[in-house]
Amino acid sequence: MAKTALVTGANRGIGLELCRQLRQRGYDVIAVCRTSSSELTALDVRVESGIDVQRDESVQALKQRVQGTKLDILINNAGLLRVDAFGGIAFQEVLAQLETNALGPLRVTQALSDCLQQGTKVALITSRMGSIADNTSGAMYGYRMSKAALNAAGVSLAHDLKERGVAVVILHPGYVRTDMTARHGSIEPGEAASLLLTRIDELTLETSGRFLHATGETLPW
């Protein structure tokens, strides 16, 4: 029987590549997104579109759609990035990033709690910009704050889900060339997805709750 993986933010970039590579591995893939794409529909995966992780009712709709499905991997990948600097902070944009990047993964993981089983692996796609110790340049208030909050949530999830046999990993994908980064970056989405899946492969209950670079480097909080 094939294993099942669910990926949010699946219509482009890293999410699309995660879906592609998981399908190539033989997983049944549930690709979750607000709006699908031609690239995603071309994959042999189950697409659940119209899902906005910022909205409780939308995530509850996802819960109903996948009810009864047991997940082997849950990858919370949906994210939002807005550039800001002190003196020009748009606080509604900060809130939007907190809703998507921090509350979104927590909202999805809680809603899909019944789909998690002994041996399920939960991955939170974060950023090293959520590291307080690694902040050497300032700015990016909304993005940094939202990813730091996600990291904190990930550690709590690791503790709370451990007794159920569910492991959690908090992963920085690297500086990836996607639409989110305006195609700037040092690696392509396919390479990032491959590295992320390697880290998920390695995840155990004993290593649950770690904050890792996709390369395997442990990152500072």
Contact 126, 214 (CB under 8 A): no
**Backbone CA torsion sign across 138, 135, 183, 34:** negative
Bridge partners of residue 212, in order along the sequence: 171, 218
Q: Where are the beta strands (DSSP E) in the chain?
A: 4-8, 28-32, 46-48, 71-76, 116-125, 167-172, 210-213
Alpha-carbon gap, residue 105 to 109, rounded angstroms: 6
Q: What is the largest CA-CA distance in the chain?
A: 55
Contact 83, 64 (CB under 8 A): no
Alpha-carbon gap, residue 178 to 86, rounded angstroms: 25
Which of the residues 27, 141, 143, 175 is marked catalytic? 143
Q: Can you give the C-alpha Rg of the chain in angstroms?
A: 16
188-192: long-range contacts, CB 8 A cutoff, minimum separation 24:
189/13, 189/14, 189/16, 189/17, 190/17, 190/20, 190/21, 192/14, 192/17
To the query of whether residue 143 is one of the catalytic residues in this protein, the response is: yes
Active site residues: 143
